[in-house]
Amino acid sequence: MVRAPPGPDRPGQVRVYTTNPGKVREIRALLEPRGIRVAWSRRRLVEIQGDSLEEVARSKLNSVSPRPGELSLVEDSGLFIHSLGGFPGVYSAYAYRTLGLAGVLRLVRGRDRSATFRCVVGVRQGPEVLLARGAVTGSLARTARGTLGFGFDPIFIPRGCSESFAEMPADVKNRYSHRGRAFRALLRALPAAFP
């Protein structure tokens, strides 16, 4: 099995593979207070056209070569709009690049606006892989709101909140977000998975 990052007296390190600096900021905020250093490899990984976020995350992990003493880490997220049959889901990055926020909002005009943001985070050391999941339900705003965050953050309002993710300071967003929940699940799973 993969070894867990050492405890706070000997911080471990994970290497995050992504081209998204916003994700790296959030990951650092979630892991570094727990004594886990975060190194960043700004590298675009091939994203297969899989049927699930788990499949995409596993594929990404298989495309990197772990460095000695580090865990490789990837993350894949998707916005699943209920009235669109879960679209864009695993195609969220593509939908964001091609349709943008305004295009997605046009698709839900006159429809139910409920949605779920999902995240799968995976770590790998050698051949061993651990995946953790997080999700948050909410609804789509009528217009983009806020300048914080990235991606679909300006149009997603988590259930029980009045602000979009892009209107929330990072520490507040991490409390509610799919990514925050996935990383908290990962941190809970590490000690049991890697005795």
Catalytically active residues are 76
177: closest CA among 96, 127, 117?
117
Helix, strand, coil % (nearest 5) of the chain?
40, 30, 35
Cis peptide leading into residue 88 (ω within 30°): yes
169-175 contacts, C-beta under 8 A, 24 or more apart: 170/25, 170/26, 170/29, 171/29, 173/26, 173/148, 173/149, 174/26, 174/29, 174/30
Phi, psi of 84 (to 5 degrees): -105, 20
Return the number of other C-beta atoms located less than 10 Å from residue 127's C-beta. Answer: 8
Measure the CA–CA gap between 195 and 180, rounded to whole angstroms: 24
Helices (H), 63-109: 92-98, 100-107
